[in-house]
Structure 1
Amino acid sequence: MSQIVLNIGMLLGGLGLFMLAVGIISDGLRLAAGKTLRHILGRWTRSPLHGLASGIAITGIVQSSSAVTVATIGFVNSGLMTLYQSLGVVFGANVGTTMTGWLVAMIGFKLKIELFALPLIGIGMFVRLLAGQRRIAHLGWALVGFGLFFIGIDVLRQAFEGFASGIDFQQLSSDGPQALLLFLAVGFLITVLTQSSSAAIAIILTAAGGGIIDLNDAAAMVIGANLGTTSTAVIAVVGATPNAKRVAAAHVFFNVITAIVALIILPFIFWLISLAGDVFSLKNTPEVTLALFHTVFNILGVVIIWPMLVWLSAFLEKRFMTHQEIESKPKYIDKNVAVSPSLALNALTLEIDRIVGMSKSLIKAVLGQTKGTTLLLNEKYEALEKLANITGEFISKLEKGTLTSEVKTQLSTLILAQQYSLSGAESALEIAKDQTLLQATSDSHVSSTLEDYLAEMRGVVGQISEQSLPTQDTDFDDNIQHIKNRYDEVKAIMLNAAVESRAPIQTMMEVMDNIKKVQLMTEQYCKANYQLNKVKTYLMS
C-alpha cells in the first residue's frame, strides 16, 4: 500500500514538475526574444527543409524528441516561429529520436540526458542571478525550465518503472492483426507511462534481443511507442495558445499517419530492411532490424506527408481558433475581389462596417460600466487592430492599381472611418484601465450625474448606429454639438463639487479627465459611423 501511495505521489510530482517546466521554458524563451534570437531562429528554420534538418540534428544530440517538440511549441507559443516553420522541426524530431534505437542496438548504451538536468538548473540560475535585468537572464530561466523538464520526465519514469518492466510479453503473443494492435497499444502505453519513447524503445529492443517477444510483435510495439510521444505534446499545450495547439496537432497527425502506413506495409518494410542490411553489411539481429525499422518508417512518414505540408499548415491555421482570431479574420476582402475596384469597394465597406461595429461594442461596454472586463476588452481591441491592419494593407494594394477619382474618394472616406473607429476604441481601453469612473463618491449628486451621463452617451451611440440612410449632415452636426454640450454641463457639475468640497479635488480632476475621454470616444464613433454611411450612400446611388 505504501508503495502505491509513493508511486501516486511521484506521478503527481512528476506531472507538476513537467507542467511547471513547460511554463518556464515558454516564458523564458518569450522574454529572451530579441532581434538576435529571432534572426538565429529565422536562419535555422527559414524553410521547412531547414527545420527538418535542425529537428533531426538537435533531437539526435539531446536524445529527446519530447524536449525538442516542447521547445518548438514554446517558440511558436512565444511568436518566435510560425506554424509553417515549426512543421519541419516537429517531423525532424521524429526522425532524430530513432538515434536511441541505434545506440542500444549497436553499442548497448543509452545516453542519460537526465544527467544534464541539475547542471542545466545550476547554470540557468547562475546566469539569471548574474545577468540582472538583461535579456540573457531570461535565457537562463529557460535553461532552468529545460532542467526541470528532464527531472520531471525522470520522476515520471521512476514512478512507472516497475509497471513497465513487469509486463509479461509472452502471455500477450499471438498471431493475427489483433495481436499487432494489442502490442501497438502496449508500446503506446509504455511511452505514455514513462513519458519517454527512448525508454520504451530501449525496453522493446532489449526484450526482442532476449527472445522474449518476436520481431513482428516488437515492431508493433515500436510503432506504438512512436505514437505514444504525442502524449507529451498534448500535455504541453494544455492552456497554451492556439498556435501551440496546432503544432501539437501536426505532431499527432504525423505520428498517426506514420503508424497506419507502417502497420499496413509492415512485411514490405521488413523486406526493405533485409535488403538494406545486406547492402550495408548490418548485423542481422532483432535490435538492429528494429532500430532500422524505426528509422525507415519515420523517414517514410516524412516522405508521405511532405507534399501535404502547405495544405496541412493552412488546414491547422483554421483550427483551434479563439473568438479573437475569428473576429480578426476578414470575411469579405480577398485577392479575388481585389481585381475589380467596384467589388473591392463593396467588400471593403462591409469589412470597415465590422470594424465600426467592433468599436461600438467596446465603447458600449465601457459606457455600460461593466466591471472586470478589461482583459476581454483588450482582446477585442487586439482583434479590431489586426483586422484594421489587414484592411489597411488591402487598401494600399488597391491604391497601386488604376482607380477612378470617385473610388479614390470613397477609399479615403473608408480610411477615415477606420481611423475614427480605432481612436474611439483606444479611448475606451484607456477608460476601462483607469477605472476612475467606477469609483463611488460620497456626493449622491455627483454619482447620479455620472451615471446619467454615461447612460445617455451609451444611448447616443446606439441611436447613431440605427440612423437610416442617407445620413443627413445636419443630423451629424446636431449629434456632435449635443455630445459637446453634455460634456460641458457634466464638467461644470464636477468642478462645483470640487470647489464646494463635496468631493476630493484629485478625484474630480481624474473624473473630468475621463469624461473628456468619453466625449472624444463618443465623437470618434459618431464620426466613424458618419464616414461609413457616406460610402454606403454612394454605393446605394
Structure 2
Amino acid sequence: MGGMQVFTFLGGIGLFLLGMRLMSDGLRAAAGGALRDILAASTRSRLRGLFSGVLITAAVQSSSAVIFATVGFVNAGLLTLTQAIGVIYGASLGTTLTSWIVALIGFNVDLQALALPAVGIGMGLRVVAGSRRRQALGDAIAGLGLFFLGLDILRGTFADLGDPGMLAVLAGYGVLSLLLFVAIGMVLTTLTQSSSAALAITLTAAAGGLVPEQAAAATVIGAAVGTTSTAVFATLGATANAQRTASAQVIFNTVAGMAALAALVPLLELAHHIVGWLGLAAHKAVVLAVFHTLMMLLGLALMWPATPRLVAWLERRFRRGDDGHSRPRYLDDNVLATPALALDAARLEAERTGAIARGMVTAAISGGGPAQREWLEGEYRVLEQLTLTINEFANRIERSQSDPAFANSLAHLLRVTQYQQDMAERAVALAKLDAGGETRIDDPELAAAVDRLLAEAVRGIEATGEDLSAWDRQAVKAVRKGFDRQYQPIKERLLRAGAEGRLPVRRMVAVLDRLSAVRRALDQATKSARYLRKFQNAERELVDSGGADEVGLP
C-alpha cells in the first residue's frame, strides 16, 4: 500500500465515522422522546429489554449510545440490572445490522449514486427545515450519504491493492493466526472507537481478497470484543451501576467471542448454508455478516439462562462507590451525552440531598447531645460536597447545550441546592443553640406550646418531601400558615415570660433564636420543594419540545 493509498484509506475511515456520527445523532434527535419511551417500556421484562435493545441499536446505529442510555436508566431506578442486561444483549445483537448494510448494499449497488444525492438532500433539509427534528433528520440523511461514500472509498482501496494473498503468510499458522486476527479486530475497534468502522474495514478487506475468510471471521470476533472498550473507558471511576452495566457488556461479548472462536469452522459452514438458503450471492462479506449474527445469537443462547447468576454476581461487585451517601448516586458523566437523562439524574440527586437536609433539620429540632451535633456536622460536610457536585454537573449540562431554555431550567436546580444547603446550616445552628440546655423552659404550659409549634414545623418540613408527582402545594402552604398563626402568639408569650422574670432572659433569647431558625428552615424547605417542582416541569417541557433529545455520541 503506497502513501497515497494510505491517505485514501484513512480518508475513507474518516468519512465513514463522520457519517456514522451524523446518522446516529440525527436519528436520535429526530426520534425525540420515542426512543427514550421504548427504553423505558423495557422495564416490564428482560425479554422486552432484549427487543428494545435490538430495535434502538438498529435505529440509531450506535450500541455505545444505547449502553450509556441504559446506564442512565439504571441510575435513575427505571431499569433494574436484570432488565438492563436484556437491553445490553439486544444492543450487541442489533449492532450486527451494520454488517448486513455493508454486505448487502456496499457490494451490490453504485454507492456514489446513493451517497451524493443523500448528502445533497440531507443538507438541503437541514438548511430549509424550521424545526430541530427536521434539521436532525437532514443530518441523518446526509450522514447516510457520507457513510456510503466512506464505504465506497474503503471498497475501492482494498480492490486496488492487487495482491489477494498478501496476508496469506499471517493466516497460515493455525490457532496463533486466528488469535492474531482477533487482536487486530480489537485494536481496530479500540483505535476507531467504533465496532462499525472495524467491521466495515474487515468486510471490505475480505471482499477485496486481502484477508482470508477464517482470518476475517476472527477479526469480526475481535471487533465485537473490542467494542466493550468504549464502555469500560467511560465508566472508570463512574457509579457502581455504570460499572456493573459495562461489565455485563464485556462478559456477554467476551463469552460470545470465545464461543464463536471455538466453533469458528462449523459456524462459517453454517453461515454458507444460510446464505444459500436465503438465495444470496455467496459473497465473503455476506457470509461474514451472517457469521457475525450467528456469533451474537450463540452468545445470547449461552448467557440468557445464566443471567440471574450473572446479576447476582455483579450486584456483589463494585460496592465501594455506594458505601454511605457521601458520593453521588445518580450523577454519571456518561449520561451527559443524553440531556434528558442528565436532567433526570440531576433532579434525582437533588431529591436525595433534599432528604438529607430535611433529615438534619428534623433531627436538630428533636434535640440531642454531643453525638448528634457531631453527626450533624458530618452530614453538613457531606451535603456541602454533594451540592457542589450537583452544581458542577448542572454547569456541564448547560455548557453542552446552546438552547437558553436549559439555562433557565437549571437555574431552578441551583436555587434548590442553595436552599438545601441553607437548611443544613440551620440544622447545625439549632444543635449549637441546644448545647448546655440553653433552650430549656421550666414553665410546663409554655414548654408544651413551644413543643406543639416545633411539631408543626416538623410536619411541614416532612410534607415538602412528598413525591413530586403527588406533591400538594396547597397542603404545604396550609401547614406553613398554621405554623405562622402559632408562631406570633408564642413569641409574645416568651417575651412576656422574659419580662416578668419567669424565664431567664438568656434562655428567652436562645428559645426565640431557635424558633426563628426553625421558621427559616421551614421556609427554605418549602422554597426548595417549589423550585424542584419548577425544575421538573421545565425538564418535561424540554423533553416534549425535543430540545433535551439532541444528543451527541458519548
TM-score by length of 1: 0.51
Structure 1: gaps spanning 5 or more residues: 129-138, 329-354, 380-428, 439-450, 462-476, 495-510, 519-541
> Is 1:201–2:199 an aligned residue pair?
yes
The verdict on how the C-alpha distance between 1:262 and 1:456 changes in structure 2, with shifts beyond 3 A counting, is: same
Task: Give 1:366's match in structure 2, choosing from 362, 371, 376.
Answer: 376
Task: Give 2:53's match in structure 1, choosing from 52, 55, 62.
Answer: 55
State the match for 2:69 in structure 1.
Answer: 71
CA distance in structure 1 between the partners assigned to 2:373 and 2:124 by the alignment:
49
Any residues of structure 2 matched to 1:361-440 within 5 Å, and which? 363-367=373-377, 373-376=383-386, 432-434=421-423
Task: Give 1:175's match in structure 2, choosing from 173, 177, 181.
Answer: 173
The verdict on how the C-alpha distance between 1:516 and 1:317 changes in structure 2, with shifts beyond 3 A counting, is: same
State the match for 1:224 in structure 2.
Answer: 222
State the match for 1:185 in structure 2.
Answer: 183
Give the stretch that moved more between structures: 301-310 or 189-198.
189-198
Q: CA deviation at 1:287?
A: 1.7
How many pairs were matched up?
370
The answer on whether the counterparts of 1:364 and 1:458 sit within 8 Å (CA) in structure 2 is no
Task: Give 1:320's match in structure 2, choosing from 318, 343, 352.
Answer: 318
State the match for 1:87 in structure 2.
Answer: 85
CA distance in structure 2 between the partners assigned to 1:117 and 1:435 by the alignment:
57
* Paired amino acid for 1:289: V
* Paired amino acid for 1:276: I
Task: Give 1:514's match in structure 2, choosing from 517, 527, 532.
Answer: 517
* Paired amino acid for 1:514: A
Task: Give 2:274's match in structure 1, choosing from 259, 273, 276.
Answer: 276
Give the stretch that moved more between structures: 366-375 or 93-102.
366-375
Q: CA deviation at 1:187?
A: 0.7
State the match for 2:259 in structure 1.
Answer: 261
* Paired amino acid for 2:274: A
State the match for 2:294 in structure 1.
Answer: 296
Q: CA deviation at 1:302?
A: 0.5
State the match for 1:352 in structure 2.
Answer: none
CA distance in structure 2 between the partners assigned to 1:307 and 1:243 by the alignment:
22
The answer on whether the counterparts of 1:52 and 1:90 sit within 8 Å (CA) in structure 2 is yes
Task: Give 2:510's match in structure 1, choosing from 479, 487, 490.
Answer: 490
Q: CA deviation at 1:231?
A: 2.0
The verdict on how the C-alpha distance between 1:430 and 1:364 changes in structure 2, with shifts beyond 3 A counting, is: farther
CA distance in structure 1 between the partners assigned to 2:124 and 2:381 by the alignment:
44
The answer on whether the counterparts of 1:366 and 1:431 sit within 8 Å (CA) in structure 2 is no
Q: CA deviation at 1:282?
A: 3.9
Q: CA RMSD in A?
A: 6.0
* Paired amino acid for 2:376: V
Q: C-alpha deviations, 1:82-115, integer Å up to 9, x for none?
A: 3222222221121222122222223327898x97
- Secondary structure in 2 aligned to 1:212? coil
The answer on whether the counterparts of 2:43 and 2:80 sit within 8 Å (CA) in structure 1 is no
Q: C-alpha deviations, 1:474-524, integer Å up to 9, x for none?
A: xxx9xx9xx9999645347x6xxxxxxxxxxxxxxxx76227899xxxxxx
Q: C-alpha deviations, 1:114-172, integer Å up to 9, x for none?
A: 9799879969x9767xxxxxxxxxx999x79x98xx89x99xx99xx9xx999x85564
CA distance in structure 1 between the partners assigned to 2:292 and 2:308 by the alignment:
26
The verdict on how the C-alpha distance between 1:240 and 1:205 changes in structure 2, with shifts beyond 3 A counting, is: same
Q: CA deviation at 1:365?
A: 4.1
CA distance in structure 2 between the partners assigned to 1:287 and 1:127 by the alignment:
39
CA distance in structure 2 between the partners assigned to 1:487 and 1:430 by the alignment:
28
State the match for 2:462 in structure 1.
Answer: none
Q: CA deviation at 1:296?
A: 0.4
The verdict on how the C-alpha distance between 1:265 and 1:454 changes in structure 2, with shifts beyond 3 A counting, is: same
- Secondary structure in 1 aligned to 2:171? coil
* Paired amino acid for 2:269: W
CA distance in structure 2 between the partners assigned to 1:37 and 1:191 by the alignment:
26
Q: C-alpha deviations, 1:402-456, integer Å up to 9, x for none?
A: xxxxxxxxxxxxxxxxxxxxxxxxxxx9885347669xxxxxxxxxxxx9x8786
CA distance in structure 1 between the partners assigned to 2:374 and 2:125 by the alignment:
49
CA distance in structure 1 between the partners assigned to 2:78 and 2:325 by the alignment:
23
State the match for 1:409 in structure 2.
Answer: none
CA distance in structure 2 between the partners assigned to 1:126 and 1:363 by the alignment:
59
Q: CA deviation at 1:188?
A: 1.0
CA distance in structure 2 between the partners assigned to 1:212 and 1:61 by the alignment:
31
Q: CA deviation at 1:47?
A: 1.6
The answer on whether the counterparts of 2:50 and 2:87 sit within 8 Å (CA) in structure 1 is yes
State the match for 2:472 in structure 1.
Answer: none
State the match for 2:208 in structure 1.
Answer: 210
* Paired amino acid for 1:86: A
Q: CA deviation at 1:209?
A: 1.7
> Is 1:104–2:114 an aligned residue pair?
no
The verdict on how the C-alpha distance between 1:251 and 1:513 changes in structure 2, with shifts beyond 3 A counting, is: same
Structure 2: gaps spanning 5 or more residues: 1-5, 327-358, 365-370, 390-417, 438-447, 455-493, 495-503, 522-554
State the match for 1:505 in structure 2.
Answer: none
Q: CA deviation at 1:299?
A: 0.5
CA distance in structure 1 between the partners assigned to 2:313 and 2:241 by the alignment:
12
CA distance in structure 1 between the partners assigned to 2:421 and 2:373 by the alignment:
10
CA distance in structure 2 between the partners assigned to 1:90 and 1:172 by the alignment:
34
Any residues of structure 2 matched to 1:498-509 within 5 Å, and which? none
CA distance in structure 2 between the partners assigned to 1:246 and 1:121 by the alignment:
41
The answer on whether the counterparts of 2:244 and 2:317 sit within 8 Å (CA) in structure 1 is yes
Q: C-alpha deviations, 1:373-412, integer Å up to 9, x for none?
A: 4245999xxxxxxxxxxxxxxxxxxxxxxxxxxxxxxxxx
CA distance in structure 2 between the partners assigned to 1:326 and 1:259 by the alignment:
38
Q: CA deviation at 1:43?
A: 3.4
State the match for 1:237 in structure 2.
Answer: 235
* Paired amino acid for 2:66: V
* Paired amino acid for 2:384: T
The verdict on how the C-alpha distance between 1:55 and 1:174 changes in structure 2, with shifts beyond 3 A counting, is: same
The verdict on how the C-alpha distance between 1:320 and 1:221 changes in structure 2, with shifts beyond 3 A counting, is: same
Q: CA deviation at 1:184?
A: 0.7
The verdict on how the C-alpha distance between 1:255 and 1:127 changes in structure 2, with shifts beyond 3 A counting, is: same
Any residues of structure 2 matched to 1:98-177 within 5 Å, and which? 98-107=96-105, 108=107, 169=167, 172-177=170-175
Structure possessing the higher relative contact order (Cα contacts under 8 Å, 6 or more residues apart): 2
> Is 1:305–2:315 an aligned residue pair?
no
* Paired amino acid for 1:433: D
State the match for 2:285 in structure 1.
Answer: 287
The verdict on how the C-alpha distance between 1:190 and 1:514 changes in structure 2, with shifts beyond 3 A counting, is: same
- Secondary structure in 2 aligned to 1:67? helix
CA distance in structure 2 between the partners assigned to 1:64 and 1:204 by the alignment:
18
The verdict on how the C-alpha distance between 1:103 and 1:435 changes in structure 2, with shifts beyond 3 A counting, is: closer
The answer on whether the counterparts of 1:183 and 1:220 sit within 8 Å (CA) in structure 2 is yes
